Structure 1
Amino acid sequence: MQRFILHWGDMGAKWGVNRSVAQIHALLHIAPDPMTAEEISETLNLARSNVSTALKELQGWKIVQSRRQLGDRRDHFTSVRDMFDLVTIVIEGRREREFAPTIEALNAVQAEAATDGTPENVRKRIDDTLSTMQMFDNWYTDMANLNRSVHVAMLKLGSRIVKFLPKGNKKSKQTDKGS
């Protein structure tokens, strides 16, 4: 349990998440029962204020929920248990906070660059960047709308899907912008 929590904390730091936030999530993810903030604080030897702040952040990500228990005034916290749901929530959250605003900003930059005298080669680079990001976002949106059973089947198929795709040099530049 300790190694899992420590590793999740280290990975959280690499993902841009505070180490203690990631450790609290790890603890709640593997804990068999919901935990109070006091229990989390004692288990991880973290300040109670740090735990409260981290729990609010995790709830903002929608990967931790609080529940009340009969006869207890304290909140009891648990993580999303289903790993598929957890990954889906994290990916969608990152898309909404990071990827979608970048596409929105690039659309504005592209529109401004079309009229402000930005050199053609710079406008082309902006266009290419936006086009590629939009292609990935469209792909993600299409994939996200599929049923879980389709996602699972695709994941199980894994790299074997390559044999159904046209062969080609992965380093060659793609010229078909519509695919």
Structure 2
Amino acid sequence: MNLQPLTQRFVLHFGEMGSRWGINRTVGQIYALLFVSAKPLNADEIAEALAFSRSNVSMGLKELASWNLVRLHHLPNDRREYFQAPEDVWAIFRTLAAERRKREIDPTLSMLRDALLEEPTAEEDVHAQARMKEMHDLIELGTSWLDEVQKMDSASLAQLMKMGSQVQKLIQVKDRVKQAFKSDKAS
């Protein structure tokens, strides 16, 4: 790798983390390189920078494209395809959340919905179905929240994330106001 030390550390780390996130090391390194690159890169430039074969780079780019994590660019008077990661980190977050939902959450919800429609035939199934209902409701709540988050602009989303536990304080204030309103109404 002929990358600057800082970039090289980032690329290598992303490769290591890739396997923990469900992608292979090569794909993780390609994405990391595109993420920090100041300009779109073509497959040959990626292969050279990372010392990967051209075919590994092509397969990695196809994987990243299937996740909607790279954008294809064409330059004037150049027949090669250039690739770039989205600039907005919140757009990347939204894309990853949507893709993971499509690949992991939606099939689980579908299975749970089907299981909840079945009529239990044994006491063990009644217990199991009750636990599945709890899981279904939790996942539904989470996906509903994610749907709302996906609609937020990046600045609002960043502000929400920075609020952290302050959200709990807002809920407590809301509950106190609601309780006070009920008390006033009752008297």
The TM tier, using the shorter chain, reads: 0.7 to 0.9
Equivalent residue in structure 1 for 2:157, among 151, 155, 166: 151
Q: Which residue of 1 aligns with 2:141?
A: 135
Please, which runs of 5 or more residues in structure 2 have no aligned partner? 1-6, 174-187
Q: Distance in 2 between matches of 1:33 and 1:49?
A: 22
RMSD, aligned CA: 1.8
Match of 1:57 in 2: 63
Identity of aligned residues (%): 33
More helix by share: 2
Q: 1:155 to 1:78 in 2, by over 3 A?
A: same
1:73 aligns with 2:45: no
SS in 1 for 2:81: strand
Amino acid at match of 1:77: F
Aligned residues: 166
The alignment partner of 1:72 has SS state of coil
DSSP-derived class of the 1:46 partner? coil
Ranges in structure 1 where 5+ consecutive residues have no aligned partner: 168-179
Task: Report which of the two structures shows the higher radius of gyration computed on alpha carbons.
Answer: 2
Distance 1:162 1:143 in 2: 17
Secondary structure of the structure 2 residue equivalent to 1:73: coil
The structural deviation recorded for 1:139 is 1.7
- Equivalent position of 1:37 in the other structure: 43
1:90 maps to: 96
Query: What is the TM-score with the length of structure 2 in the denominator?
Result: 0.82
Read off the aligned partner of 1:86 and give its amino acid letter: I
1:142 and 1:73 map into 2 onto residues whose CA distance is 41
Output the CA distance in 1 between the equivalents of 2:43 and 2:109. 38
Most deviating of 51-60 and 64-73? 64-73
Secondary structure of 2:52's counterpart equals coil
Instruction: Give the superposition deviation at 1:155.
Output: 2.0
